[in-house]
Amino acid sequence: DIQMTQSPSSLSASVGDRVTITCRASHNIGSYLNWYQQKPGKAPKLLIYVASSLQSGVPSRFSGSGSGTEFTLTITGLQPEDFATYYCQQSYKTELTFGGGTRVE
């Protein structure tokens, strides 16, 4: 299995802040890294795919970068609706795996 490690596991931020979440893979996964947002009681929502491509309809304040084993999700100008939990997911290998999540509060 490819292990995905997110950091931090939680962070405290304020509206307008720039927030950065890191995801590290145990093996080189190229750019096969996706990011999701999940709010309480809701299904996850795709934000970023293949490391840096913005999913249709997702605000441009969300951006992704990285390749190989280290990846970053950045929220530039945090909005009230962005307080949620964020997950990374690798799709390099057929056996897909998620990171443990980062709660933004």
Enumerate binding residues for other proteins (CB under 8 A).
1, 32, 34, 36, 38, 42-46, 49-50, 55, 87, 89, 91-92, 94-101
| Shortest Cβ 60–other proteins spacing (Å) | 18
What is the residue whose two structure tokens read 């950045």?
74
- Smallest gap from Cβ 16 to other proteins, in A, equals 28
Q: How far is the CB of 99 from other proteins (least distance, A)?
A: 8
Q: Name, in order, each residue with C-beta under 8 angstroms of 86's C-beta and a sequence gap of 6 or more.
A: 6, 21, 35, 36, 37, 38, 47, 73, 101, 102, 104
For other proteins, the closer of residues 16 and 42 by Cβ is 42
Residue closer to other proteins (CB basis): 17 or 52:
52
Q: How far is the CB of 14 from other proteins (least distance, A)?
A: 25
- Angstrom CA distances, 9 to 28, 84, 92, 93, stand at 22, 12, 23, 24
